[in-house]
Amino acid sequence: MSSSIGRPLRPALGALLTALVSLLTAVLLTAPQASAAPAAPVRVSAAPAETALARTALAKTAPAETAAAALTEVTNFGTNPSNLQMYLYVPDSVTAHPAVLVAVHYCTGSGPAMYSGTEYAALADRYGFIVVYPSVTRASKCFDVSSPQALSRGGGSDPVGIKSMVDWVTRTYGADTSRIFATGISSGAMMTNVLLGDYPDVFAAGAAFAGVPFGCFATTDGSEWNSACANGTVTHTPQEWGNLVRAAYPGYTGPRPRMQLWHGTEDATLRYPNFGEGIKQWTNVLGVSQTSAATDSPQAGWTRTRYGATGDQAPVESISLQGVGHNLVTGGMAARVLTFFGLDSTGPAPQPQPGGCRVAVTTSAWNTGLTASVTLTNTGTTSVNGWQLSFTLPSGQTITNGWGATYAPTTGTVTATNAAYNGTIAPGAAVTIGYQAGHSGNSGTPAAFTLNGTACTVT
């Protein structure tokens, strides 16, 4: 699939796409064994060189000089059978118990490329949710959406690693488990379908750009590529498509995630008939009629159809783009995804900001380490219900242990998220937390603290 997805199409890239598709038809599925990862998260200061072409109108719009938040790699996040990498974006404005969005890249892409080439990080700055960017390490840089392991809950391969990433974020940031979402482009769109099929109890909704239905790319010979599906010649009845999804998690009877599908009528990589097959599949899975509940044209050349309801959060929403090819993503589409998910202004509002706060911090240091005690006082007139205390560690310091809160990442700008027992701070009350850190000579204390985005007085 095209590495130019989400970027302007250039003739040279078109030739590259043709060669890449031919190559992928011969690629065998490989799942490298997980290797030992560094113990501490690594801050990513710049995206790899491959993402230079991805910096278009879709790129994150928050000015670099005003945004302290940055993309971070998280290692040792849990079971990871196919050696995926996990990249994380936590905005400075993150809400208490935030929603989580998994943004899945296209073939030949990466997590940092998806971060740089889409609008989700900028939207996270606005609405306070967390974005996870999984990244493939196998040679093709395509996600496994074809093997029997990938198409079964807990079966192994990429979906298991991505589920571990979600679990890590949920534990670390106290994320709202009812607001976990997935979106992706091309190979990432296929993975979005797979995640919603494998883990219907985890994901609330998905948005797939230029993908194929769950199970359409299935192969039995170890190949990553299914030409019949790519060419749009795999067809099933709605019931048959729905059965493929239900077979991924036998016996599951709970609610199913909603689905938003996007496709261009001139897609030459994953052809347009896959769009109709996807609608058949997800209307069946969600138990709604294939007769549309509402159809409109929110933009010239777009046909938006809703199934099962007429509102912004219908069970199934499809957007057909007339005359558009495979690299269909343009500016503003991500905002429409958030509307479907309920993560924009129509969704949960950010937590109320505290009226005031005060932080007192003391340290006890030795030659290579230190222990810090941090007392946070609510100086406002209303209770703080759910808190995150952010601060920047002095250069060379790395947190090795902590208590009273969960700390992430362990270097640079750190966010301490309340524990279950101390999430409420009444007016005039205080909580004390602490951490142990190693240092390379600078044993100083953080100079500034913010509580849920509000600056605190430091004493």
What does the pLDDT look like over 302-317, one tens digit per residue? 999 999 999 999 999 9
> Could you confirm whether 383 is annotated as catalytic?
no
Confidence of residue 355 (pLDDT cuts 50, 70, 90): low
Handedness of CA 45, 77, 114, 51 (dihedral sign): positive
Q: Please state, rounded to an integer, the average pLDDT across all residues of the chain.
A: 85
For residue 267, which phi and psi values (nearest 5 degrees)?
Answer: -65, 115
Which position among 3, 82, 157, 186 bears the catalytic label?
A: 186
pTM of whole model > 0.95?
no
- Of the candidates 362, 366, 372, 371, which has an alpha carbon nearest to the alpha carbon of residue 441? 366
* Model confidence pLDDT, tens digit, residues 72-121: 999 999 999 999 999 999 999 899 899 999 999 999 999 999 999 999 99
For every residue of 348-381, DSSP letters joined together read PPPPPPPS-EEEEEEEEE-SSEEEEEEEEEE-SS
Does 40 have pLDDT greater than 60?
Answer: no
Q: What is the mean pLDDT of residues 368-397?
A: 90
* Model confidence pLDDT, tens digit, residues 407-443: 888 888 888 888 878 888 888 999 999 999 999 999 9
Q: What is the mean pLDDT of residues 283-307?
A: 95
Does 33 have pLDDT greater than 90?
Answer: no
* Model confidence pLDDT, tens digit, residues 137-196: 999 999 999 999 999 999 999 999 999 999 999 999 999 999 999 999 999 999 999 999
Does 282 have pLDDT greater than 90?
Answer: yes
Give the pLDDT score at 294. 94
Pick the range with the lowest mean pLDDT from 240-254, 292-306, 308-322, 386-400. Answer: 386-400
Residue 75's CB is within 10 A of a number of other CB atoms, namely 14
Does 49 have pLDDT greater than 50?
Answer: no
| Contact by Cβ (8 Å): 193, 213 | yes
Q: Which residues contact 261 (CB under 8 A, 6 or more apart)?
A: 207, 208, 211, 275, 278, 279, 282, 316, 317, 318, 319
**Burial class of residue 28, CB neighbours in 10 A (0-12, 13-18, 19+):** exposed
* Model confidence pLDDT, tens digit, residues 51-66: 322 333 343 333 333 4
* Model confidence pLDDT, tens digit, residues 20-31: 444 444 333 333
Confidence of residue 354 (pLDDT cuts 50, 70, 90): low
